[in-house]
Structure 1
Amino acid sequence: MILELGDNKFPRAMGLCRDVHDQAFTLSQSATGHVFQERTHTKCMHDNVHRSIYVDALSLRFVDTEQFQRLRDVRQLGLCHMVYPGAVHTRFEHSLGTYYLADQAISRIKNFQGDELGIERSDVKVVKLAGLLHDIGHGPFSHVFDNEFLPKILPGEKWSHEQMSVDMIDYIVDLHHIDLDSSDVRRIQEMILASSVPVSCQSSREKRFLYDIVANGRNGIDVDKFDYIERDTRACGIGNGFNYARLMENMRVMDDEICYRAKEAKNVYNLFVTRADLHRTVYTHPKVKAMELMVADAFLLADNYMGISKQIRSPEEFWKLDDTILKAIETADQHELQAAQQLVLRLRRRQLYQFCNEYSVPRDMLDHFKNVTPKDIVCSQTRSGVELKEEDICVVNQKIDLTRGQEDPVQSVSFFQDYESHEKFKIPKDRISHLLPAFFLDRIVRVYSKKPELVEVVSEAFENFQVKTYGVKTQVHGTPNGKKKKRTPSF
């Protein structure tokens, strides 16, 4: 019997005797997933994506806190379940999934290259905890909170869920007296912030490759994406051409960087393309965005009374925020919340902000593009007899890319030929396939009317703006000529 692991082949007797074949046995246990780990102080959680996830004792100290359990009430995809009914999974599941994949990634590297790279138990510990805690700072309905609500209520405020995750870790460690070295806490926090810190600022870090596992600022390939792409495509019932397990099986650290076998180059492209497809078809679906805008406006109307925006100042207050705040607004008896409640009622009855039209910014205009505002649309109105107001219009300036703007993200990824080679290299796109994307960025401008009776007027003003800006009306994707069509239920 021959046991094959990667390119290594080990003769194997039946019964898997642990004698002269210890190396092959160790590698096989890594491949089958922690079969012989100590289970005395671990808990097994059953996940619909990764099956059995074993959580160690230290990680359980974080999981079994009210701050982490709060993630059960924060939906991973915000309001996408209103269009894709299966998308009801939460940040809790995603955090456990990222923890599992972070464990798989660092364990595989340690088993194959642990001595060479000097990987210690503390390295494994901090990588796993970074995966577990990377999203603990997300607000109600995930990105609706930080992308739609906060910029409106606190313009110019530099708040991010990553930084709140960092602050929340300090708060949990102190509040629950978790025995964790301050140096380990700092490393966990740096790993969570890695994707937002310039690569040049991280180059001096020891074992730099560890910081690329959970939130990769070097090229965007990380276990966070592995989990949410797999989880979100399953929940929404859409295709996924990316195979994260195969990519993890073909990785190797070279010159302090995680590299991938050259034959996986197309799979790497599939990662970025699938992510972009999710953004286009799920995360920014026209009706999903309409509902996100409505929820953000409901939060705005309720903020003076409920003080939602004030709770972002400290972890002690922030952890009390989750998706249930919408129900709290909806069912409150206070007169001060009446306007917000009317908006939530419209949402429940599917009386949404009306999508008028959208267009993709021409490629030659991308470098000089400026965000379109409701004022731009109002100033382009030519029809008499109807007065448009900025507060009647919502404009969404959407960027969909492959994580690197107009640049090819795969050109930031290093590859190796096989496990006998000692050099890493980049692979030009034309050496992979001629069917790959020719361009890597879309900017889509989308306009909504808050009042159904203004749809035609807003659509006409929007088309006038396009002519004024680009000289011609660009290709649009909404109702022809902006005429309102008969409304039918849409799910």
Structure 2
Amino acid sequence: MTQEKPDGKIFNDSIHGHIVLRPLLVRIIDTPQFQRLRNIKQLGGAYFVYPGASHNRFEHSIGVGYLGGEFVKSLQSRQPELNIDDRDILCVEIAGLCHDLGHGPFSHLYDRMFIPKACRGIKWKHENASIKMFDHLVEVNKLEEMSDDKDGQSLKEDRVFIKELILGHPLESPELNTSSTPWPYKGRNEEKSFLYEIVANKLNGIDVDKFDYFARDCHHLGMKNNFDHRRLFKFARVCEYNKRRHICFRDKEVGNLYDMFYTRNLLHRRAYQHKVNKNIEIMITDALLKADPYIKIQGSDKKKFTLSKAIHDMEAYTKLTDQVLEKITNPDFEEQKEAMKDANKIVQRIFSRKLYKFLGEAKKQEEQPGKQMEVKIPEATTESLKEKLREGEGRPDQEIFEVVVVTLDYGMKDKDPIKNTYFYKKSDHKIAFTLSRDKVSKLLPERFSEQIIRVYWKSDEGSSEAKKRYMSWCEDNGFKVILRNDM
């Protein structure tokens, strides 16, 4: 529900309560490019596992835009010397609002599972599409001279800044900017370096994007969220570290931050990487791959694009949402129905809960207790498992199974994210420092990342023999089965 207000609109959000968004943000929300997010599930296939996970990228994006503004406003009120102006706040709000414009059907399923298989060799992320979609939104809705009603100033010069905020790194380079390099950003000078740590924080992952989706996902999944972002806002300050300004937190908040990263890990274990959720997402991916050549989406200049090629045309991409499943089950033309019958069979299997067989999951056993072992499962290891599973199943290239490597971490691969987080003491608000593990707790994890390997069997036949081969491979390669389907 929204309500008109002289300086914007009031939205009643299920997580943040009644929030006010200024007129320019509402103008962006009321475009087809933003409205499409209503039809993209936040958690992809998890809706088929958790009935409450029906929320979409639309409300999450509004929440991130709101929290971005609240975070930077709290810094502005606490530290006037930072010279944060209203344009800075507005740009952060727009970046938060538009950071997920580039998501495709079923969110991360599209960019992490479908595109890598449909367009092999192409490195494409939804963040890249968010930048292209933002430009497209501005141009087709004639927002080139967009301004906020408060000052009437155009934000034309700030488009680069907004896109940098969305990416979390310079437009020209995806590499993380460090204090040892010259200032690479174009949107703001080095005095305002801290602004790049609010929407997409590549330094340590502490940003408003996570603040919103932790709270929102836990709410809809029916899980407890132990992390309090509102408290963190109160203890955030900007301090200088290695000649560059960063967002820092009171040293006593380190426990709250570890709770945040633990919550992330828990969400991945219980929901995002749930074995049935991944099964369904594999099936949706297979259906999209089989339907890809036959579904045509009209884009610019009346050109037609397939599901995988639509990433190259934002007019076509605007029309691409979760509703693609409807196009598979109820095609527009009779010839499409025949061409997509295999894709339709997979979707119908999802609806009738006749899923692929889950053979089990395993993780590498420690060779010696206490010895640090390799976290990442090498590609050669997964290839050897595939070869084992192919034995006796016809041609070597016949894929009737899916081997999935699941990574569970604290957001910074195998690194402790707190190592790149800066703190200050109550007695001195200006000096920033890092905290070593021994000064935090002896109860912290020994490792911050692990990988498990799963196998899903797609065929109606042969799963019993495949399971035996899988168990045999695990035993021969030092993997311990931690979960299996006892058939």
TM-score bin, normalised by smaller chain: 0.7 to 0.9
Structure 2: which amino acid aligns with 1:421?
H
Q: Does 1:253 align with 2:259?
A: no
User: How far does residue 427 in structure 1 lie from its aligned partner after superposition?
Assistant: 1.3
| Mapped partners of 1:98, 1:384: distance in 2 | 51
**How far is 1:183 from its partner?**
2.4
- 1:425 Cα deviation after fit: 1.1
The 1:103–1:378 alpha-carbon spacing in structure 2 relative to 1, beyond 3 Å, is closer
Which whole-Å deviations, capped at 9, do the CAs of 1:333-390 have from their partners, x for residues lacking one?
Answer: 4211111101111111000011101112346552563136875335325986998874
The counterpart of 1:108, out of the listed 74, 85, 88, is 74
> Residues 153-204 of structure 1: CA distance to partner in whole angstroms, max 9, x if unpaired?
1112111110111011111111111123332111000011116541236845
- Counterpart for residue 361 of structure 2: 358
Distance (whole Å) between structure 2 residues aligned to residue 409 and residue 372 of structure 1: 29
CA distance in 2, matches of 1:109, 1:459: 56
Per the alignment, residue 344 of structure 1 pairs with 347
Tell me whether 348-357 or 433-442 shows the greater mean CA deviation: 433-442
Compute the displacement of 1:434 (Å). 1.8
Residue 118 of structure 1 deviates from its aligned partner by 1.6
Identity over aligned pairs, percent: 36
Confirm or deny: 8 A CA contact 2:404 2:453 kept in the other structure: yes
Counterpart for residue 49 of structure 1 = 15
Q: Distance in 2 between matches of 1:63 and 1:242?
A: 28
| 1:305 pairs with one of 294, 309, 316 | 294
8 Å Cα contact 1:202-1:208 kept in structure 2: no
Q: How does 1:155-166 map to 2 (within 5 A)?
A: 155-166=120-131
> For residues 128-167 of structure 1, what are the structure 2 equivalents within 5 Å?
128-167=93-132
Q: Which moved more, 1:458-467 or 1:229-238?
A: 458-467
* Residue number in structure 1 paired with 2:168: 194
Structure 2 CA distance for partners of 1:408 and 1:268, relative to 1, 3 Å: same
* Deviation at residue 468 of structure 1 after TM alignment: 3.4
Following the alignment from structure 1 to structure 2, what is the Cα–Cα distance between the partners of residues 222 and 128? 13
1:455, CA displacement in angstroms?
Answer: 2.2
CA contact (8 A) 1:371 1:397 kept: no
The alignment of Structure 1 onto Structure 2 pairs a total of residues equal to 441
**RMSD between superposed Cα atoms in Å:** 2.1
Q: Does 1:462 align with 2:470?
A: yes
CA–CA distance in structure 1, aligned partners of residues 317 and 290 of structure 2 = 19
State the shift of 1:97 in Å: 0.5
After TM superposition, give the deviation of residue 127 of structure 1 in Å.
0.5
For 1:84-123, list aligned pairs within 5 A.
Answer: 84-114=50-80, 116-123=81-88
- Counterpart residue number, 1:34: none
| 1:403-422 matched pairs, under 5 angstroms | 403-418=411-426, 420-422=428-430
Cα separation, 2, equivalents of 1:385 and 1:191: 50
Q: 1:175 aligns with which of 140, 154, 164?
A: 140
Take 1:230 and 1:427, find their aligned partners in 2: how far apart are those partners?
A: 26
- Aligned ranges for residues 281-300 of structure 1 at < 5 Å? 281-300=270-289
What TM-score results when the alignment is normalised by the length of structure 2?
0.86
Aligned equivalent of 2:299? none
Structure 2: distance between partners of 1:379 and 1:424: 52
Trace 1:329-408 onto structure 2 (pairs within 5 A): 329-332=328-331, 333=334, 334=336, 335-362=338-365, 365-366=373-374, 369-371=377-379, 376-380=384-388, 390-408=398-416
Whichever of the two has the greater Rg, that structure is: 1
> Does the Cα contact within 8 Å between 2:10 and 2:21 map onto a contact in 1?
yes
| Rounded Cα–Cα distance in structure 2 between residues aligned with 1:263 and 1:46 | 33
Distance 1:381-1:93 versus aligned 2 partners, 3 A rule: closer
Bigger fraction of residues in strand: 2
Distance in structure 2 (CA, Å) of the matches to 1:368 and 1:219:
20
Closer, same or farther: CA 227–446 of 1 in aligned 2, 3 Å:
same
Alignment gaps of 5+ in structure 2: 147-154, 296-305, 367-371
Residues 31-81 of structure 1 show CA distances to partners (whole Å, capped at 9, x for unaligned) of xxxxxxx94130111111001121111111110101100000001001111
Q: Give 5+ residue unaligned stretches, structure 1.
A: 1-37, 485-491
SS, match of residue 477 in structure 1: strand
Counterpart of 1:267 in structure 2 is: 256
Describe the SS at the equivalent of 2:199. coil
Q: Is the CA contact (8 Å cut-off) linking 1:377 and 1:458 kept in structure 2? A: no
Matched residues in 2 for 1:254 and 1:415: separation? 9
Structure 2 counterpart SS, 1:305: coil
More helix by share: 1
TM-score of the two chains, using structure 1 as the length reference: 0.85
- Which of the numbers 239, 243, 250 marks the counterpart of 2:228? 243
**Which AA in structure 1 matches 2:349?**
R
Q: Please name the residue that 1:443 is paired with.
A: 451
